[in-house]
Amino acid sequence: MLTEDLLNSFKSNTDLKEYLNSNKAEHPNYELALEKHQYEQELLPIQAELVDFQRWVQKENKKIAIIFEGRDASGKGGTIKRFKEHLNPRAMRVVALNKPTEVEKNQWYFNRYIKELPNAGEIVFFDRSWYNRAVVEPVMGFCTKQQYNRFMIQVPEFEHMLYESGTTIIKFWFSVSKEEQQRRFEKRLKNPLKKWKFSPVDEKGQELWDDFTIHKNQMFSRTHNSFSPWVVIKSNDKKQARLESIKYVLSLFDYDNKGNSCKALLPDPNVVQRYFRNTIQLDQ
């Protein structure tokens, strides 16, 4: 049996491949096992770099907010899981807010997000963020046109104030194709452990695909700026998206012991791309 201990005992993919080739009858899906092993071998050194990065954030009292946006089933949650897997929970948080309460509905829109912003020495991962009002809410009819327009005017000013107060905002958009999204929806519905992830909003995702695309492109063009740019992650390959998004974050900072665990920290430009106003974004 191919246990975790046995997998970890292999020094290289070549060793694993030789073992699987000699035991094909026992491991008919050996190519999948090989792919998973290679992914784990790439992920662990990068996660070790994240540990060094977090120590530096704590020591230097940095405030880091990482926003994960994208269509449903684009891989946001799985990527956040790999980011935080080995971090000190006392110096990081994941924020995934429910729909606003009646009290929150009558407050300034950004109010409930302000209290979730990172303190000094902390990393906060936003599993969706204030950008709900830029895409999901107007497409699904959860906000008025006036509320949407007000948000689009205010959000660059809001983020500039955060920037001036020393908060680093990293904005990811996970880009998945329509066909891949549908495949992931179907997979979720078949898995009793993941059925809870499928919501009425997910159900509308395919039907309202073009509306989501229009609002996404509006969001990019009106809220992308030098102090908090949008970074598009091609996420049809979830494992690659996880690795490259972590590399992107690490590449931005000159933290202590950088490169000790992983030398290759520059993200693949075929997977990680900054949004540019002068280019047309082909959604995915």
Cα dist. 10→2, 6, 18, 78, 118 in Å?
11, 7, 10, 26, 40
Q: Is the pLDDT of residue 265 over 80?
A: yes
Residue 273's CB is within 10 A of a number of other CB atoms, namely 18
Instruction: Please give the backbone phi and psi of residue 33, each rounded to the nearest 5 degrees, phi first.
Output: -65, -40
Q: Is the pLDDT of residue 120 over 60?
A: yes
pLDDT band at 229 (very low <50, low <70, confident <90, very high): very high
Cα dist. 131→69, 193, 266, 281 in Å?
8, 28, 27, 18
> Identity (one letter) of the amino acid at 170?
I
Q: Would you kindly state where each structural domain of the chain is located, as residue ranges?
A: 61-274
Question: So what CATH class is 61-274?
Answer: alpha beta
pLDDT at 7: 64
Torsion of CA 280, 282, 283, 284, to 10 degrees: -150
For 14-37, b/e burial (b = at least 16 CB within 10 A) is eebbebbeeeeeebeebeebbeeb
Instruction: Please give the backbone phi and psi of residue 96, each rounded to the nearest 5 degrees, phi first.
Output: -140, 90
pLDDT band at 13 (very low <50, low <70, confident <90, very high): low
Per cent of the chain over pLDDT 90 is: 75
Section 134-161 average pLDDT: 97
Section 157-171 average pLDDT: 98
pLDDT at 204: 84
Which stretch, 6-20, 29-43, 96-110, 266-280, has highest mean pLDDT? 96-110
pLDDT band at 280 (very low <50, low <70, confident <90, very high): very low
